């Protein structure tokens, strides 16, 4: 790792000198012969055939077919007419979880409990050295189980070691008897505030919801530094393969941050990370006096704080104004009182940290909106309060998103994945403000799109297609689900590029192809503005470039 | 802090550009007309009259009077014949504590309890906004008190707020009644392992030794990021003023590390820091897979792990083979069993971290030596095991320092400060292996010198003078204390320069003036090789340069 770091450090030094001297010998590079498409800062489509790039990886000029190419060039890449786009940006994801999950047992492709049991048993047999079998991605709804699975059903697959598997949404985890025993969980165990232990009679049945996951999670062996590094590099490689050149990491722990820095110090950061510290204490410990500067040539910045107002819909942890339609006694629960959430948001805003609050249920969204409205009187200026997910919003609250520069950070594939579940949880009346992308724009809110990886695959093409069709990969439902909430194709693209950059205070750095922006771009095998939704979903990313350097090429 | 921080970052950026723009060609700079003295890699004196420096702050050549100077130069500094030396290196200090203490109440200049009480009362009156009065530097031995002070004696000075003051050696702290109350300390409180609560009858008397300090320390308000930044910059400014251009930070906490990084990210690091994480867990969390690379142009690196085998002599926390002469029932105590210390050292060495273990008493030194001897069979190669202080060594153990590349990291001013106390604690027989600098060299051990700031002032000139005289600032005792343990003037200088760099695996980076080394140098008002000991102690540092940039100038 020392090698690349030194090489990179030398490279940076050389580029600083080059700028300072503005010497004629050190000319720009040219990416030429492209079918180039980007949005400009107002979201309008711009087409071009070449891009001039400085030695330090910034765009200096977009060229049209008739523009003369410079004579003196350091380098020239001929793209042979292929389609060139700005890199995609995922406004909400979990980098380390993506990497860990990719290296662990992945149940996201299982369609039944039996299939999952077989896969778990096979993985355990193939990995005898692992003291714990860890993984995730299961979803009892996909399995058609109609209930959570149990520890006993996991014991059938693996009995000799603890197994601990998180649900696809990360809001619940499932352990076998060995895991419960290792954690000392018994019938007497009490769920912490904001958590729930699923029971079978008086016994814990094996699934732990939200904060209760920590009852077992705390005894899971901590990953080593090398495990963290491997997970990061795996996640980065996955993201670049999808054409994602920047992401917002929503809930960076201190160890996540230390991992990013180790990779950055070694010259290994490729994807750009807009980091939001997991809670105020984490962000303040790292930033000290406010957000960090952009580090490693605009590859990393701790921009703000991630807070959680509630849980998720699937596990009925989302906080609703009225009870769940399919669980009449339950309305979910807020994670914090109004006072506590305001105090935390205030502590963050006071030092200039951006605030991003997870809110799924209508009650949670209303709570956060009220907090923003109150705090906006004190903390003025360009704050870009973010509400993450903004999934189920009471229609009376929708217009409130249009004030105080609020950003609705939403995930199109959540809508297509959750559709039937959301209908069951909410009933027809409450769907009017669910996944209400177009309403957000109509009300004057800014929208940034992401995937919430690894809850969903970090595939921006699937998200983009969903965003203007309200249909899943199979074209279901016909005509789209509540199609009045579809965005236009261009609006959705903006939410995945310039809008996502703006949501992270990065619009001067990246998000489109224009002079002064970082040369973050991708070469794809089709024109996304001309492709059918099905074709768009099938987009192949052939090359990914970050800061004027090729960092991924499809094999 | 944001203001100075940003100003600082801008300042650096401007100066980098200024250097880069200063000239059409990229020639070297020249520091000329100096009375230059350095040691070479074998510790021999080299004299020169000019130094050529590259744009990136490294020495390319030492020039003698007869050498022709280059025609083309970016810059030239005429030192008008003044004395130029390599920057001094302090091999053992505590950067953040130095800064905090400098900004807090400092009792190190008080000569009696009454004087301290008056100073404490005045400080509290002058700082009404401070919720806790924090500080340190007291020493009941200096006060001639013959016992620890009490909470009641502190209440006399400040009764309205908690007061918490650490002893000069950091191994004990003194609180007033408000502090004990805030911490919930009562007659029933039990000292943790490795700690002691001083008692007056059955009641805590107000002083807490070693690990027991945490009983109150845990309720002291945590410093804010801006406080940490201010403390760091204060410490750095003090160090540069003494001509210290690099230090080993012995026990970097995670928050210390995050502070160093914030300063580094803002372009504010001047002094070079060889960091040793406070315990294995801290180092491993930061480094992940081993020591970090050198960061910020060789300004910062986490090199290894700091462990503590025992406490200090003043508080009778040092672990002795036989009881203290002035406290027959006590021998101090080891902080860890043989197994525990070996396990920790092994965990660190396994990942390539350097291991530095604090050992003051002869028993602690023997324990660490035995651990190194055993571990050296497993962890071979260039390990540079460090024993910090190596203060009281059983003469039979002295030769053991000569094996396995052990580094004795010692502090000359501890000898002059502790002399009478050490005589009382140890009695005459045990002094044969105390502060045994020359014996270390004779036995083939490497010696690195430092000050243990803020326990002692980070004044390398006082340390250097003590090292070859075994006398204090008043020339006491006549002829030197156990003068057979004095080093030569040049040996001592090496321990404060190249030896201290070697002790941190930095000998290829800095520690002397020679081609390829960083241009870290100082301009002083006298020639330290010609000065009398008294004159040497009075050395004035006129300028301090790090990496070819002037970072301090005496006003």
- On chain A, the residues whose CB falls within 8 A of the CB of B26 are 17
Q: Torsion-angle region of residue A77: left (phi > 0), alpha (psi -120 to 50) or beta? A: beta
For range B83-93, the mean pLDDT: 98
Q: At what angle do helices B225-241 and B95-103 cross, to 10 degrees?
A: 100
- The beta-carbon neighbor of B2 closest among A17, A258, A290 is A290
Of A3-12, B224-233, B537-546, the range with the lowest mean pLDDT is A3-12
Question: DSSP assignment of A539-550, as one string?
Answer: --EEEEEETTEE
Query: In order of start, what are the domains of chain B with their CATH numbers?
Result: 25-86+510-554 (2.30.40.10), 95-218 (3.10.310.70), 309-487 (3.20.20.140)
- On chain A, the residues whose CB falls within 8 A of the CB of B287 are 225, 262
Predicted confidence (pLDDT) per residue in B32-78, tens digit? 999 999 999 999 999 999 999 998 899 999 999 999 999 888 899 99
For range B489-501, the mean pLDDT: 98
- The beta-carbon neighbor of B20 closest among A17, A259, A292 is A17
Judged by CB atoms closer than 8 Å, whether chains meet at B2 and A262 is answered as: no
User: Touching check for B1 and chain A: CB below 8 Å?
Assistant: yes
User: Touching check for B16 and chain A: CB below 8 Å?
Assistant: yes
Q: Which residues, in sequence order, are CB contacts of A527 under 8 Å at separation 6+?
A: A35, A37, A83
Are A289 and B229 spatial neighbours (Cβ–Cβ below 8 Å)? yes
Taking CA–CA distances from A21, the nearest residue in chain B reads B21
- On chain B, the residues whose CB falls within 8 A of the CB of A301 are none
CA of B293 vs chain A CAs: smallest distance (Å): 7
- On chain A, the residues whose CB falls within 8 A of the CB of B258 are 285-286, 288
Of B11-15, B208-212, B280-284, the range with the lowest mean pLDDT is B11-15
Report residue B2's pLDDT band, with 50, 70 and 90 as the boundaries.
very low
Q: How far apart are CA B125 and CA A31, in angstroms?
A: 68
CA of A369 vs chain B CAs: smallest distance (Å): 29
In which order are the strands placed within the sheet that holds B203-210? B105-106, B133-138, B163-167, B172-175, B203-210, B195-200
Judged by CB atoms closer than 8 Å, whether chains meet at A266 and B293 is answered as: yes
User: Touching check for B221 and chain A: CB below 8 Å?
Assistant: no
CA of A129 vs chain B CAs: smallest distance (Å): 20
Q: What is the pLDDT of residue B542?
A: 98
Taking CA–CA distances from A294, the nearest residue in chain B reads B265
pLDDT higher for B24 or B159? B159
Pick among A289, A294, A347 to test the B interface (most B CBs inside 10 A): A289
**Beta-carbon pairs below 8 A across chains A and B:** 72
User: Touching check for B45 and chain A: CB below 8 Å?
Assistant: no
Q: Is pLDDT above 80 for B25?
A: no
Q: Is pLDDT above 50 for B11?
A: no
Q: What is the pLDDT of residue B492?
A: 98
For residue B281, the tally of other CB atoms under 10 A from its CB is: 14
Q: What is the pLDDT of residue B27?
A: 54
- The beta-carbon neighbor of B17 closest among A20, A229, A289 is A20
For residue B139, the tally of other CB atoms under 10 A from its CB is: 20
Q: What is the pLDDT of residue A27?
A: 54
Q: What is the pLDDT of residue B84?
A: 98
CA of A507 vs chain B CAs: smallest distance (Å): 21
Q: What is the pLDDT of residue B17?
A: 36
User: Touching check for A289 and chain B: CB below 8 Å?
Assistant: yes
Q: Residue A91 CA to chain centroid, in angstroms?
A: 6
For residue A288, the tally of other CB atoms under 10 A from its CB is: 28
Are A468 and A492 spatial neighbours (Cβ–Cβ below 8 Å)? yes
User: Touching check for A25 and chain B: CB below 8 Å?
Assistant: no
- On chain A, the residues whose CB falls within 8 A of the CB of B16 are 16
- On chain A, the residues whose CB falls within 8 A of the CB of B295 are 265
- The beta-carbon neighbor of B228 closest among A2, A288, A293 is A288
Predicted confidence (pLDDT) per residue in B311-348, tens digit? 999 889 999 999 999 999 999 999 999 999 999 999 99
Q: What is the pLDDT of residue A10?
A: 36
Look at residue B124 and give its three-state secondary structure: helix
For range B366-376, the mean pLDDT: 98
Taking CA–CA distances from B4, the nearest residue in chain A reads A289
- The beta-carbon neighbor of A259 closest among B20, B255, B288 is B288
- The beta-carbon neighbor of A20 closest among B9, B20, B261 is B20
The tens place of each residue's pLDDT in chain A, 555 residues long, gives 233 333 333 333 333 333 333 333 345 899 999 999 999 999 999 999 999 999 889 999 999 999 999 988 889 999 999 999 999 999 999 999 999 989 899 999 999 999 999 999 999 999 898 899 999 999 999 999 999 999 999 999 999 999 999 999 888 999 999 999 999 999 999 999 989 999 999 999 999 999 999 999 999 998 989 999 999 999 999 999 999 999 999 999 999 999 999 999 999 999 999 999 999 999 999 999 999 999 999 999 999 999 999 999 988 999 999 999 999 999 999 999 999 999 999 999 999 999 999 999 999 999 999 999 999 999 999 999 999 999 999 999 999 999 999 999 999 999 999 999 999 999 988 999 999 999 999 999 999 999 999 999 999 999 999 999 999 999 999 999 999 999 999 999 999 999 999 999 999 999 999 999 999 999 999 999 999 999 999 999 999 999 999 999 999
CA of A202 vs chain B CAs: smallest distance (Å): 39
Predicted confidence (pLDDT) per residue in B124-142, tens digit? 999 898 899 999 999 999 9
Question: DSSP assignment of B444-476, as one string?
Answer: T-EEEE---BTSS---HHHHHHHHHH---TT-P
The reported pTM is 0.86
Q: Is pLDDT above 90 for B8?
A: no
User: Touching check for A264 and chain B: CB below 8 Å?
Assistant: no
Q: What is the pLDDT of residue B129?
A: 82
Using CA atoms of A494, A495, A497, A498 in order, give the dihedral in degrees to the nearest 10: 70
**Secondary structure of B214-267 in the HEC alphabet?**
HHHHCCCCCCCHHHHHHHHHHHHHHHHHCCEEEEEEEEECHHHHHHHHHHHHCC
Interstrand relation of A163-167 and A172-175 (parallel, antiparallel or unpaired): antiparallel
User: Touching check for A223 and chain B: CB below 8 Å?
Assistant: no
Judged by CB atoms closer than 8 Å, whether chains meet at B225 and A289 is answered as: yes
How many degrees, rounded to 5, is the angle at CA B266 between CA B263 and CA B272? Answer: 45
Q: What is the pLDDT of residue B3?
A: 34
């Amino acid at each position: 790792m020392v090698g690349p770091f030194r090489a990179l450090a030398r490279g940076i030094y050389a580029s600083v000198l080059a700028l300072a001297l503005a010497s004629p010998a050190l000319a720009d590079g040219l990416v030429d012969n492209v079918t180039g498409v980007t949005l400009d800062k107002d979201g309008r489509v711009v087409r071009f055939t070449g891009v001039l790039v400085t030695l330090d990886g910034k765009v200096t000029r977009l060229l049209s077919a008739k523009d003369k190419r410079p004579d003196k060039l350091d380098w020239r890449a001929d793209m042979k007419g292929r389609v060139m786009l700005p890199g995609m940006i995922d406004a909400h994801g979990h980098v380390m979880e993506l990497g860990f999950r990719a290296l662990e047992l992945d149940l996201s492709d299982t369609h039944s409990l039996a299939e999952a049991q077989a896969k778990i048993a096979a993985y355990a047999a193939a990995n005898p050295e692992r003291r714990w079998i860890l993984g995730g991605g299961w979803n009892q709804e996909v399995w058609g189980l109609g209930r959570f699975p149990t520890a006993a059903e996991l014991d059938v697959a693996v009995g000799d070691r603890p197994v601990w598997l998180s649900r696809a949404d990360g809001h619940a985890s499932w352990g076998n008897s060995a895991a419960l025993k290792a954690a000392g969980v018994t019938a007497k165990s009490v769920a912490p505030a904001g958590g729930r232990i699923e029971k079978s009679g008086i016994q814990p049945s094996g699934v732990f919801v939200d904060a209760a996951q920590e009852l077992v999670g705390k005894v899971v062996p901590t990953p080593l530094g090398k495990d963290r590094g491997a997970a990061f590099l795996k996640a980065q490689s996955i993201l670049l393969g999808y054409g994602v050149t920047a992401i917002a990491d929503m809930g960076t722990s201190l160890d996540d941050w230390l991992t990013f820095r180790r990779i950055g110090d070694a010259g290994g950061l490729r994807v750009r990370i807009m980091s939001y510290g997991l809670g105020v204490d984490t962000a303040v410990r790292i930033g000290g006096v406010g957000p960090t500067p952009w580090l490693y040539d605009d590859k990393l910045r701790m921009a703000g704080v991630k807070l959680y107002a509630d849980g998720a819909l699937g596990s009925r942890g989302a906080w609703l104004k009225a009870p769940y339609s399919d669980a009449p006694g339950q309305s979910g629960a807020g994670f914090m009182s109004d006072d506590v959430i305001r105090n935390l948001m205030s502590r963050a805003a006071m030092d200039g940290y951006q605030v991003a609050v997870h809110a799924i249920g209508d009650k949670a969204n209303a709570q956060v909106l009220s907090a923003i409205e109150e705090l906006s009187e004190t903390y003025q200026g360009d704050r870009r309060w973010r509400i993450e997910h903004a999934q189920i919003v009471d229609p009376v609250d929708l217009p409130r998103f249009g004030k105080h520069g609020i950003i609705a950070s939403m995930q199109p594939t959540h809508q297509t994945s959750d559709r039937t579940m959301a209908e069951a949880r909410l009933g027809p009346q409450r769907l009017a403000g669910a996944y209400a992308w177009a309403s957000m724009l109509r009300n004057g809110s800014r929208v940034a799109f992401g995937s919430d990886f690894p809850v969903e695959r970090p595939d921006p093409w699937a998200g983009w297609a969903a965003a203007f069709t309200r249909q899943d990969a199979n074209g279901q439902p016909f005509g789209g689900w509540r199609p009045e909430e579809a965005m236009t194709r261009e609006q959705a693209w903006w939410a995945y590029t310039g809008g996502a950059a703006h949501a992270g205070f990065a619009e001067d750095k990246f998000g489109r192809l224009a002079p002064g922006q970082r040369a973050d771009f991708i070469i794809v095998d089709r024109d996304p503005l001309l492709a059918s939704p099905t074709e768009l979903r099938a987009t192949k990313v052939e090359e990914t470039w970050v800061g004027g350097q090729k960092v991924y090429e499809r094999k």
